[in-house]
Structure 1
């Protein structure tokens, strides 16, 4: 289930500023080295735009106090979603690629007094958070995509949320499959939070067209058959649609 999210005004402003800067940087690099040799620069530029979609506090650039205070359209939307789903008694796995984003989500959960487990690449004791979730001690499990890819059996979950879409469908599905291990008898609802009109929506569309592209963006490197064509690059760095608000 795609859960569309609107960027707030401050996010839109930063997105456009960042997009213009990155678009120029990418075009200059392509003019200098050609598309094939510019992949690292392109992927880095896309990463920065994806961070703006998640939360401005992930962005490594000076921001006004007002922009930082405005929070994140996606985080606000997630919190509303969690309150509703947890109110229905759902048991939720929440994935993000960014451990720094999970830390921001943690702060929000702590302020609301909501219990959760956490698993990232830095977690030394993996057994306890898994046991707490599987045993029903906490209804929510925050997992970084890298840490959650393999070896986890989380059949207590009936809901999976991908906070930031992961461009390789195989890895996204692998994470989702944590809830589908042997022993899962219930249907599992899978939600993807996608910021409307942004690079997230564009890559979602490209993902369906080009599995190879998704794979390369996922690895942050290049694969043999991976070519971002000029038209793809123009789509990825296109301006935000005009807000109807």
Structure 2
């Protein structure tokens, strides 16, 4: 909530992605209590409503758009935003990247800042570590460099998941 307030106070429009609709519901309760206006898209939002909300967000002063990661990962053009918050990490960085790309569309005139919220000493840190390892592995495979030294051992995978 502090990050959201700071972004609003700074005049920013923000996309907030969570993989959990239950977390979006918790945030809705807090935003309603604070009087902060927002839009919401989940997998249950009809296609026509999605388009209407996207167009409104890009045109009006509503500072925040809550979006479930899977519902907002593709097909939305949200150039009205200049900030993106990933509330919780997802195993597949491509899903997060696609969500972030909703603000990086043709017509974007602002620099977009991306925030990833990660709680210290949790599985989230391990997910981020796994994402980084996967990214390095993919980079090594594409470049042909040191593929064998980039693979995860059974012990490393168990450590990440423990």
Of 8, 14, 38, 1:116 maps to: 38
The size of the alignment, in residue pairs, is 147
Cα RMSD, aligned residues only = 1.9
Q: Verify the 8 A CA contact 2:14 2:63 in the aligned structure 1.
A: yes
Number of the residue aligned with 1:185? 109
Of 196, 201, 205, 2:129 maps to: 205
Q: Verify the 8 A CA contact 1:117 1:132 in the aligned structure 2.
A: no
Q: Bigger radius of gyration, 1 or 2? A: 1
Partners of 2:31 and 2:89 in 1: CA distance? 21
Number of the residue aligned with 2:160? 235
The Cα shift of 1:138 comes to 1.0
Secondary structure of the equivalent of 1:94?
strand
State the TM-score, normalizing by the size of structure 2.
0.84
Number of the residue aligned with 1:49? none
Q: Verify the 8 A CA contact 1:194 1:201 in the aligned structure 2.
A: yes
- Aligned ranges for residues 73-88 of structure 1 at < 5 Å? 79-88=1-10
Partners of 1:174 and 1:197 in 2: CA distance? 27
The Cα shift of 1:207 comes to 1.2
The Cα shift of 1:127 comes to 2.0
Secondary structure of the equivalent of 1:142?
strand
- Name structure 1 gaps, 5 residues minimum: 1-78, 214-225, 238-245
Q: Does 1:101 align with 2:23?
A: yes
